Amino acid sequence: MRTNGAATMNSENFSLSERLVSASYVRQGSQARRGHEQLIRLLLEQGKCPEEGWSESTIELFLNELALMDSNNFLGNCGVGEREGRVASGLVARRHYRLIHGIGRSGDIAAVQPKAAGSSLLNKITNSVVLDILKVAGVRSVSSCFVLPMATGMSLTLCFLTLRHRRPKAKYIIWPRIDQKSCFKAMVTAGFEPVVVENVLEGDELRTDLQAVESRIQELGPDSVLCVHSTTSCFAPRVPDRLEELALMCAKYDVPHIVNNAYGVQSSKCMHLIQQGARVGRIDAFVQSLDKNFMVPVGGAIIAGFDEAFVQEISRMYPGRASASPSLDVLITLLTLGTGGYRRLLKERKEMYTFLAEELKTLAAAHGERLLHTPHNPISLAMSLGSLEKQNQKAVTQLGSMLFTRQVSGARVVPLGTEQTVSGHTFRGFMSHSAHYPCPYLNAASAVGITRDDVALCVKRLDKCLRSFGREKRDQSGPEEPSITESSVTEADATELNTTEPCAADTEGDSSH
């Protein structure tokens, strides 16, 4: 009875119960239980995300039943091995629904673990439900995927390491520039030399320089190129790479193609690009973050592809067993939301993108700035800060720290002329995806889960900050409420905190080691 009373109620037990409680009541109770079981049966039968989300009691019943199938929960188990799923803290056991064995076997993260039938089942079901959701989100022809308990950067590294076995002569990865450190480091950590291809400016947008990518493949020779590493989701004014054309080029030169789709599952446009790329040309794998797309804690990613054998090869590269937590979190989340609930979240996100764009456009106009015209970026927006900078050279970075102290998170201020060295490569105009972007700007994104209040409050606070700069100019008395908290955040902090948001932390003088 410790794990779940209902879990012990088979038909025999129901019959026995009729001795204690009226038979008609027991029958009603057993029918109610069958309702939950019916949902579980459908899940096991179809391996798809249910259209309608499950109640927490169905989910807990299901997880408890899975846990009872793992050897650490067998009543008669005696363990004499070095890994027996022992957990000292009850709190830890409950946090994991008593699923302690993790996933995979020493040789393959997708393999079934004999000691843990329940955890193995959990892993298979999660991968199957996630595959279904990738199809629902727009990549209809995806054939295989798996959840990895590593974030996006390390998952990309694993893809590159897998390709290495297929292309022993390859040294280079061709990478249309995107100023995000983890995806750059993913290549360096795997032991390859990134060949950075600068983007071209088209209107306000930064787009893939297809000609330059093709020239690099020709100059280096296709055999010495491990793959083209392209990106969908990114900060405006960069827009998703031209995936169709890149996929065609990769097919033409027989060069693999890995797509960084970090937060692209939430955008039908990014998913459509991947679907089209794979249809007309070559995409070997695409990688996406669990937390950015499914509102779960940081720590997992999905590697997906169109050739089951290649995806399996990647899962076999993973040495050892792995944490089941990211799989468990995303399974619980998708069962809770259902396909319907996830679709609703995506629809709301899209509406908030339009709302955010309108609000920023109005705000920009009121301050002599403009919303940059980046229609190919479905998630991130950018508002120019050129007038602000003309007023006051330091205002742009100051704005970053002001927004930080006003608890506006995720708004990212991008000044011009920042130079940064990451793993030995120096990026001019770092953060702006370009060595020469014409103006400084501010980014804001409409990502899954964002609310109307998030947008309204952010715009209101941003307006207040920008107005304080205007006043400062008029009365020369410094910006409004120069608070203690604000001056305690140094300019360097501000640059880290509100300008390099997802790639923060290390100030990369570390090229020497």
Whether the CB-CB separation of 29 and 110 falls below 8 Å is answered with no
**Residue 145 is a binding residue for ligand PLP (CB under 6 A):** no
Identify residue 422 by its one-letter amino acid code.
V
Name the residue nearer to ligand PLP (CB basis): 178 or 402. 178
- From the list 177-185, 265-273, 409-417, 439-447, the region that binds ligand PLP by CB under 6 A is 177-185
| Rounded least distance, CB 234 to ligand PLP, Å | 5
Whole-angstrom distance, CA of residue 113 vs CA of residue 313? 18
Sign, Cα dihedral of 106, 152, 137, 252: negative
Among residue numbers 445 through 504, which ones bind ligand PLP (CB under 6 A)?
502
Tell me, letter by letter, the H, E, C secondary structure of 425-464: EEEECCCCCCCCCCCCEEEEECCCCCCHHHHHHHHHHHHH
| Rounded least distance, CB 188 to ligand PLP, Å | 13
For residues 269 to 308, the per-residue mask of contacts with ligand PLP, x marking binding by CB under 6 A and - elsewhere, is --------------------x-------------------
Neighbours of 506 (CB within 10 A): 10
**Residue 261 is a binding residue for ligand PLP (CB under 6 A):** no
Name the residue nearer to ligand PLP (CB basis): 178 or 243. 178
Q: Which residues of 415-427 are buried (b: 16+ CB within 10 A; e: fewer)?
A: bbebebebeeeeb
**Residue 357 is a binding residue for ligand PLP (CB under 6 A):** no
Whether the CB-CB separation of 113 and 103 falls below 8 Å is answered with yes
Name the residue nearer to ligand PLP (CB basis): 231 or 315. 231
| Rounded least distance, CB 261 to ligand PLP, Å | 9
- From the list 38-46, 151-159, 214-222, 321-329, the region that binds ligand PLP by CB under 6 A is 151-159
Name the residue nearer to ligand PLP (CB basis): 367 or 433. 433
Name the residue nearer to ligand PLP (CB basis): 123 or 231. 231
Among positions 73, 180, 199, 327, the unique one binding ligand PLP when judged by CB under 6 A:
180
| Rounded least distance, CB 152 to ligand PLP, Å | 3
Name the residue nearer to ligand PLP (CB basis): 222 or 410. 410
Name the residue nearer to ligand PLP (CB basis): 231 or 405. 231
| Rounded least distance, CB 153 to ligand PLP, Å | 3
Helices (H), 190-307: 210-220, 243-253, 268-280, 290-294
**Residue 152 is a binding residue for ligand PLP (CB under 6 A):** yes
Cβ partners under 8 Å of residue 1, min gap 6: 8
**Residue 266 is a binding residue for ligand PLP (CB under 6 A):** no
Among positions 262, 337, 444, 466, the unique one binding ligand PLP when judged by CB under 6 A:
262
Whole-angstrom distance, CA of residue 499 vs CA of residue 409? 10
| 196, β-bridge pairs | 175
Identify residue 9 by its one-letter amino acid code.
M
C-alpha atoms less than 13 angstroms from C-alpha of 199 in its C-beta half-sphere: 32
| Rounded least distance, CB 177 to ligand PLP, Å | 11
Whether the CB-CB separation of 195 and 173 falls below 8 Å is answered with yes
| 46, β-bridge pairs | none
C-alpha atoms less than 13 angstroms from C-alpha of 255 in its C-beta half-sphere: 30
Whether the CB-CB separation of 233 and 271 falls below 8 Å is answered with no
Phi/psi at 314 (nearest 5 deg)? -65, -45
**Residue 442 is a binding residue for ligand PLP (CB under 6 A):** no
For residues 219 to 258, the per-residue mask of contacts with ligand PLP, x marking binding by CB under 6 A and - elsewhere, is ------------x-xx------------------------
For residues 93 to 132, the per-residue mask of contacts with ligand PLP, x marking binding by CB under 6 A and - elsewhere, is ----------------------------------------
Phi/psi at 428 (nearest 5 deg)? -85, 140
Q: Long-range pairs for 29-34 at CB < 8 Å and ≥24 separation?
A: 33/6, 33/9
**Residue 182 is a binding residue for ligand PLP (CB under 6 A):** yes
**Residue 410 is a binding residue for ligand PLP (CB under 6 A):** no
**Residue 260 is a binding residue for ligand PLP (CB under 6 A):** yes
Q: Which residues bind ligand PLP (CB under 6 A)?
A: 151-153, 178, 180, 182-183, 231, 233-234, 260, 262-263, 289, 502
